[in-house]
Amino acid sequence: MYYNKSIPPPSGPMVNPYNEFFKFAFGSAIYIIIVSFTTIVANGLLLVVFFFDPFKIFRNATTYFLVGLALVDILTAAIQEPINATCFLMMYLGHPDTVSTCVPLLDVAQTVSVAAMNASFFIVLAFTVTQYIVVISPLKYARSVTKTHVVICVAAIYSYAILFSLSPLMGVPKEIQQKIDNICHSIAMIYLTIVFYILLYIAFKKKMAASKSLREDGNTQDGGRNNRQTGVERKFIIVNFLLIAILFLTSQPSAMLWIVRLYSADTPISPKVLIVHLMVDNVLYLKFLLDPFVYAWRIPKYRQALKIVLRCGREKPEAKSTFRDRVMARMSASRDSVITLDFRSITPD
C-alpha cells in the first residue's frame, strides 16, 4: 500500500487538487471494510472446521499449510486493511489529524503487509511443491511430509517474513528492502509457483496415462472408471487454472506498479497515479479473501463438515458410502491432503 506523506488533508475554501483521489479513497474504504469482514469470516470458519473436524480427516499434514495461510489472511484483514480504511475515511472527511495520525499507522500497515504477503506467497509455494511430491512419489510424501515437518516449515516461513519486514529497523535501507521484496518475493516467487503448477499438471497427466495403460493391459472394460478419470482430469485442469489465474491476477498488477515506482525517476505523485495505486491494492486484497474459497470451500466434504460444525454436531455424516467417500477415507489413512484427494482416485484398486 502506497501513501504519499506530502498529501495534505482537504481544508479551506481552495479547491484541493487531490479531491478526486479523496473520493476514490472513500469508495476504497467502503470496499476494504466489506472485504476485510468477509475475509475474517471465511478464514475463521476454515479454522473452526479444522479444529472441530467432524469427519476426522482434515487434520492431516498438508492442511497445516492451509491453517498457516488462514492465519496470515486473518492478520491482514484484521490489521492492515482496517488501518487503510480508517485513514482513507479520515482523508475524505478532512480530519485535521489525518497526517499526524495516519503516517505512523500506515507505516505499521506497510510492515504487516510485507510480512503477511511474503508469508502467504511462501506457504502457497510450499503447498504446491508438496502437491507435486504427492503425485510423483506418494511413498516419499508419506515419509517426508509429516505434521511436524509442515508445522516447522510454516513457523520458519513466519519467522523469515517477520524478520524481512523488520529489516529496515536493523539498518537495511528501505529502498533496498522494497526492491528485494518486489523482485524476489512478489515476482520471482509467483512465477516459480506457476512453474510448479505446470510441473504438477505434467506429472498428473503422466499418472493418469499410466493408470489408463494398466487397465488396458489388464483387458479390463471399466467404462465407469474411465468416465471418473476423465472427470478428475477435467476438474484438476479447471482448479489449477483457477489457482494460477487468481495468484497471477491479484499479485502482478501491484508488483508491476512497484517496479515502475522503484526504478523510474523520482517525480511528484499525481492524483491519477494515486488512484491507480488504490485500484491495484484493492485487487491485491482479493487474494486474502479468495484463499479459503480456492483451497477449502470448493471441496464438498469441507462444506458438509462446516454445516455439521455450525449445527453443533446435531447432523451426522450420511451412512451411505459413495466412491468419493471411499477415496477420501483411503487418503486420510495415508496422510494425504484434502486438497489432493482426487490424485489417488485415478490409481488402480
Rounded-to-integer distance, Cα 49 and Cα 4, Å? 41
Distance CA 80, CA 90 (A): 16
Distance (Å, whole) CA 97 – CA 221: 75
| pLDDT score for 245 | 87
| List of long-range contacts for 130-136, beta carbons under 8 Å, 24+ apart | 130/62, 130/65, 130/337, 131/62, 131/200, 131/337, 131/339, 131/340, 132/196, 132/199, 132/200, 132/203, 134/336, 134/337, 134/340, 134/343, 135/200, 135/203, 135/204, 135/207, 135/340, 135/343, 136/203
Rounded CA separation 89/105 (Å): 14
The chain-wide mean pLDDT, for the chain, equals 79
Long-range contacts of 209-213 (CB under 8 A, 24+ apart): 211/346, 211/347, 211/348
Q: How far apart are CA 277 and CA 271, in angstroms?
A: 10
Strand ranges for 171-293 from DSSP E: none
pLDDT at 158: 96
Q: pLDDT value at position 14?
A: 55
Convert the pLDDT of each residue in 16-52 to its tens digit. Answer: 667 888 889 999 999 999 999 999 999 999 999 888 8
Please list, in sequence order, all residues whose beta carbon lies within 8 angstroms of the beta carbon of residue 217, skipping any fewer than 6 positions away. Answer: none
> Looking at per-residue confidence, does 281 or 53 come out higher?
281
pLDDT of residue 2: 47
Q: Half-sphere exposure of residue 62, counting CA atoms within 13 Å on the CB side?
A: 27
Q: Which of 112, 25, 110, 38 is nearest to 76 (CA)?
A: 112
- Average pLDDT rounded to a whole number, residues 152-168: 95
Task: Using alpha carbons only, give the angle 153, 199, 145 rounded to the nearest 5 degrees.
Answer: 30
pLDDT in tens, 213-269: 766 655 555 555 555 656 666 677 777 788 888 888 988 888 888 888 777 766 567
**The amino acid at 28:** S
Residue 128: pLDDT over 50: yes
Other C-beta atoms lying within 10 Å of the C-beta of residue 243: 20
- What is the model's pLDDT at position 319? 44
What is residue 151's predicted lDDT score, i.e. its pLDDT? 92
pLDDT at residue 216 in the model: 63
Render pLDDT for 168-188 as a digit per residue (tens, 0 to 9).
989 899 889 988 998 999 999
Grade residue 131 by pLDDT with cuts at 50, 70 and 90: confident
pLDDT at 232: 62
Which range (16-30, 149-163, 213-227, 318-332) has the least confidence?
A: 318-332
Predicted confidence band at 160 (pLDDT cuts at 50, 70, 90)?
very high
Alpha helices in the chain (DSSP H): 19-52, 63-75, 81-93, 98-136, 138-144, 147-165, 174-180, 189-217, 223-263, 271-292, 300-310, 323-333, 341-344
User: Which grid cell sits at 5?
Assistant: 506523506
Q: Which three cell numbers stand for residue 163?
A: 524478520
φ/ψ region of 95 (left if φ > 0, alpha if ψ in -120 to 50, else beta) reads: beta
Stated pTM of the model: 0.79
CA distance 292 to 129: 19
Q: Look up residue 212 and give its three cell numbers.
A: 489408463
87 touches 106 (CB < 8 A): yes
Distance CA 273, CA 253 (A): 13
For residues 271 and 282, what is the distance between their CA atoms, to the nearest angstrom? 17
Per-residue pLDDT at 316: 53
Question: According to the model, what pLDDT value does residue 16 have?
Answer: 67
Where residue 305 falls among pLDDT bands split at 50, 70, 90? confident
Please answer whether residues 294 and 238 qualify as being in contact, where contact means their C-beta atoms are separated by less than 8 angstroms: no
Q: Hey, CA dihedral for 181, 183, 189, 190, is it positive or negative?
A: positive
